[in-house]
Amino acid sequence: MKDSYLSAKLVKEDTIRLVVFSSLPWSKIEPWLVVDGVKTKILHPFKMSSMPSLAMIDYKLDKPLELGHSYNLEIYGRGCLGVDVSEATTFPGFDEKYYYDGDDLGATYSKEQTTFALWAPLASRVQLAYRDHKGDHFSYVTMDRTDKGVYRATLKGDHENAAYVYWVYNSETVALCTDPYAKGSTQNGEQSVVINFKRLEGIDLHKEALPVLNQATDAIIYEAHVRDMTIDESTDIVHKGTFAGLAEKGRKTLKGNPAGFDYIKSLGITHLQLLPIYDYRTVDEKNPDASYNWGYDPWQYFVPEGSYASVLDDPLSRIVDLKKMVAAYHEEGIRIVMDVVFNHVYEYEGSVFERVVPNYYFRHRHNGTMANTSGCGNDLASERPMVRKLIVDACQFWAKTYGIDGFRFDLMGIIDVKTLTQIKDKVRAIDKSFILYGEGWNMGGEVKEPLGHMGNYKLLPDFGFFNDHYRETAKNYFTEDYSQMQPFKHAYASSSVNFIEGAKFLNANQSINYVECHDNATFFDFVSKRRSDLPLKDRLDIVKLANASILLSFGVPFIHAGQEIGATKYGEENTYNKGDHYNKFSYKLLDERIDMVNYFRDYAHFRKGLGALHLYDPRAIDESVDIRDVGTCIRVSFLNKDVIAPRRDLQFFINPSHATYKYVMDSPYEVILDKNGASSKEEASGVVEIPPVSVLVIEGK
């Protein structure tokens, strides 16, 4: 047999194909079809193709093969050969026949019993293996196959914190699997854990303390990573690198400045966006200091990341710590945005999805190979009903259970519009102020359905998009590329106004304005590379100018942690796995540049108090604002005085040049904000001097 290879596959609902690769002579093959271990009938070829060393033989069945049974071909002289049924996921009508819309997938706990439900329509058998809390040995239960290919089991009695896995039998092979809908986990996702969420209801999420978000332009978003914000040795944060550490109050830097929670609270932001906090793969949860990752390698979509737990080997710790962290920020009026990755998983071959339902959860090219639009080896097939259901269910779970207030979608342009719209409907039913935005790059795809990229902005009116037009024009204009001055004015007005260029968005709520995020170089590093001729102070002035300009722009301001103090990644651009040295928030640098922090706070406070900057209707922006040139500066003034009331007149000047510009005022004025932040507000008259590399805000009297 070492010179032969045989495989059997269900290629149509009623057709099994036997493929024979052999250097040995072979004759007509008429195997027995063995169903659940019982010989049922002899199959006769109805179609055969052959060439030297290769033959393909098709066997027509009397009726479509019914999934949920064991199928083998018993071939005389060759033994039994399992029939691969995974191609059934592509047959017409599969989704309609097996779509399950129930809300009980996973483990559902009560003190009297725990029920388990697993969607595995291809499987011929599923066993539940479980061990109760602190138990040494697993017990086994054969699950019942029910409607829509859902396998079920019920354990009587109290099984809180029980660990469990599934043995799933697909196409005569068995795979050890965790639960795709698991809400709890042992370390490194080795086993799923039954969680009693009623025990956690005493943790008040303080949703009542959150101001209503009338429109996305009310937000100031600050992007951070749990470990990065707490790991620096220059603070007295106790639980470094954890959810608990990010919620510790009263912590200080070496020079007595606020650190961690108190620092974030002090900035005047409205939303803290956290890089992935679901369970991801490439950090060892038993030894989190041994490796580093941002978390864009999803492993369990309903489970918090275990390396962020204060007690690493306690499955409840990560859950309790996360809820308490969210509650702490809510008490201060700060909403939590969760960075979610529903475009790919860490690796599809070993993923729970491929193990439980092979050939279903991932997109394939027309030639059958894996789609790789994400660049990560696989693309989740969000358009398939049960994949869509899992994604929507996960989003609803995070919003309900953990009080998450927004989602930032990684590579949103790969996710289909229908899935995104369903997510919006579910989470907005929980919280009308829920914010939704993502990376809208048009990366193509292997599906015909519309996807969530910027080109489809009209199909996603409730979603924001990272505005790369703003990013690129701002970065270039702020480093004195004046060819980008006019395009930047269009971006400044949220890219939704037909001004200089055509509108790219429906309104300003869709424009996420930024110059830096976790990806690519920090803005300070970009400036240092582009303008290496400038001394440090001048480069930091450019950073301050960019931060102030973002906060004064129409749209949604987005700031990456450390951007406010000119943080560096030492010239590295992609630091997703490069460790604390490149990624941590430096509180030592904060102590050295506290003036930049104060500057940022002043502009954030000003933005929050000025209703004009919260305008989102492009017609209102167009009618209210006049944007003109003063040399290579930009001057913004307000034509509609109602939107700046009770102020009488406001003008902004953005000057990225190293020249001082002068502007003649018709009336006295007062400097509200200058290159140092809050001013003395002394009244002046006549000529306004606009200092080099600065933003100036004045109020006419």
Residues catalogued as catalytic: 410, 439
- Contact call for residues 546 and 515 (beta carbons, < 8 A): yes
Cβ of 366: how many Cβ atoms within 10 Å? 7
| Distance linking the first and last C-alpha atoms of the chain | 95
Tell me the C-alpha distance between 11 and 21, whole Å: 18
Residue 300 DSSP one-character state: E
- Contact call for residues 543 and 527 (beta carbons, < 8 A): yes
Closest by Cα among 491, 407, 511, 410 to 452: 410
Amino acid 674 reads D
Tell me the C-alpha distance between 467 and 488, whole Å: 12
Tell me the C-alpha distance between 466 and 518, whole Å: 13
Estimate the share of the chain in helix, then strand, then coil, as percent rounded to the nearest 5: 30, 30, 45
Amino acid 467 reads N
Q: Burial, 571: exposed, middle or buried (Cβ in 10 Å; 0-12, 13-18, 19+)?
A: exposed
Tell me the C-alpha distance between 519 and 402, whole Å: 26
Q: 3-state secondary structure string, 59-95?
A: EECCCCCCCCCCEEEEECCCEEEEEECHHHHHCCCHH
Beta bridge mates, 38:
35
Closest by Cα among 57, 39, 38 to 48: 57
CB within 8 Å of 52: residues ≥ 6 apart: none
Reported as half-sphere exposure (CB side, CA atoms, 13 A), residue 477 has a value of: 26
What distance lies between CA 341 and its chain's CA centroid? 4
Q: Which residues of 146-171 are buried (b: 16+ CB within 10 A; e: fewer)?
A: eeebbbbbebeebbbbbbbbbbbbbb
Residue 635 DSSP one-character state: E
Tell me the C-alpha distance between 512 and 185, whole Å: 35
What distance lies between CA 325 and its chain's CA centroid? 19
Q: Note if the bond before 646 is cis, omega within 30 degrees.
A: yes
Tell me the C-alpha distance between 568 and 666, whole Å: 43
Tell me the C-alpha distance between 309 and 185, whole Å: 12
User: Which region, left, alpha or beta, applies to residue 84 given φ > 0 means left and ψ of -120 to 50 means alpha?
Assistant: beta
DSSP string, 162-176: -EEEEEEEETTEEEE
